Amino acid sequence: MHRLTLVALVVVVAGCRLSPEGDPKKSDRRLELAKEYLGRFELEAAEAEANKAIAYMNTNEEAFNLRGLVHYIRALNNRRLIEVDDCLTGLQAEVFDQDEDAQLARAASDFQKAVALAPDYGEAWANQGAVANLTGAYDDAIKLLTHAPENPIRLVNPGLSRASLGWAYFQKEDYLRAAKELLQVKQFQPTECVPTYRLGRVYFAKGEWENAAQEFQAVDPSCGLQEASLYLMKTRLEQGLNDEANAARDACLKLSPKSCIANQCRAGAR
């Protein structure tokens, strides 16, 4: 998961709450501090302030959502260590993998508490769907991510939510629905990295090589999505365009030479 996506995830919107129990002013003050810390990716401080916000008012659904995001980002960081930064294997990978599972379980619990307190909280529904995608529970992800846009006022990034829904359909090999969701995102957010890459994967799965190549090439390298270069290389190899494939391989290796994806780029080159 690239940094731009993480930034999109940490934005939290205010909304109507149930009748508060406790001290709402102190709770909101701590919540605002938690948002600031999360925006700077200071996860320990963000979690501490979210805990204080909940202690002051246990019906503060935004505080539960924010604490869930802290756990979710920790899980993403663990996955990045395993798959990208160091390509960990063996015991090290097992340790980080177990922690990732624990963080995702905590994230899911907090998001569930948020929607129990505020059923109109579309962002918390979407965040639950993102967790379900990471755990491979794609049927659950589809249900949650389909429900999220039903409450658009409290949904921060409808495009990101729809891109996650498209990815869940993709994982279930329902390429028509996946393409439908991702094309709608592209219509309104044509330069967004994640939906662009994921639409390329749909075309790749269908063997539409030139369409796939166009999407992978359109992913801005600054997004850090190394997978786009890997699949551009694979696409060019399918087309028999070895020079273009080698150029994509070189771009892949430049982004993160020690990653597992880089190893795939090396192995797939000709």
Question: Residues 206-242: pLDDT tens digits?
Answer: 999 999 999 999 999 999 899 999 999 999 999 999 9
In the predicted structure, residue 8 carries a pLDDT above the cut 50:
no
Fold of 1-156: 1.25.40
Contact 50, 70 (CB under 8 A): yes
- Determine the average pLDDT of the residues in 13-34: 75
In the predicted structure, residue 37 carries a pLDDT above the cut 70:
yes
Predicted pLDDT at 88? 56
pLDDT digits (tens, 9 = 90+) for 96-141: 566 788 999 999 999 999 999 999 999 999 999 999 999 999 999 9
Angle at Cα 125 formed by Cα 124 and Cα 130, nearest 5°? Answer: 90
In this chain, the answer to whether the domains covering 1-156 and 158-270 adopt an identical fold is yes
- Domains of the chain by residue range: 1-156, 158-270
Q: Please give the share of the chain, as a percent, with pLDDT higher than 70.
A: 85
Predicted pLDDT at 4? 41
* pTM metric for this prediction: 0.85
- Domain spanning 158-270, CATH architecture: Alpha Horseshoe (1.25)
In the predicted structure, residue 3 carries a pLDDT above the cut 60:
no
Q: What is the CA radius of gyration of the chain?
A: 20
Contact 66, 34 (CB under 8 A): yes
**Virtual CA dihedral for 153, 155, 159, 161, nearest 10 degrees?**
-140
Give the SS3 label for residue 22.
Answer: strand
pLDDT band at 22 (very low <50, low <70, confident <90, very high): confident
Instruction: Please tell me which residue, 260 or 146, carries the higher pLDDT value.
Output: 146
**Virtual CA dihedral for 187, 191, 194, 195, nearest 10 degrees?**
20
The alpha carbon dihedral of 146, 148, 152, 157 has a sign of negative
Q: What contacts 97, CB < 8 A, 6 or more positions away?
A: 78, 82
Neighbours of 119 (CB within 10 A): 15
Start-end of H helices in 81-137: 90-117, 122-135
DSSP-derived letter for residue 21 is -
Give the SS3 label for residue 150.
Answer: helix
pLDDT digits (tens, 9 = 90+) for 55-95: 999 999 999 999 999 999 999 887 776 565 566 566 555 56
Tokens of 99: 């922690």
DSSP-derived letter for residue 86 is S
* CA–CA separation, 98 and 75 (whole Å): 10
Among the listed residues 26, 32, 36, the one whose alpha carbon sits nearest the alpha carbon of residue 58: 26
Predicted pLDDT at 259? 86
Break the chain down into helix, strand, coil percent, rounded to 5. Answer: 80, 0, 20
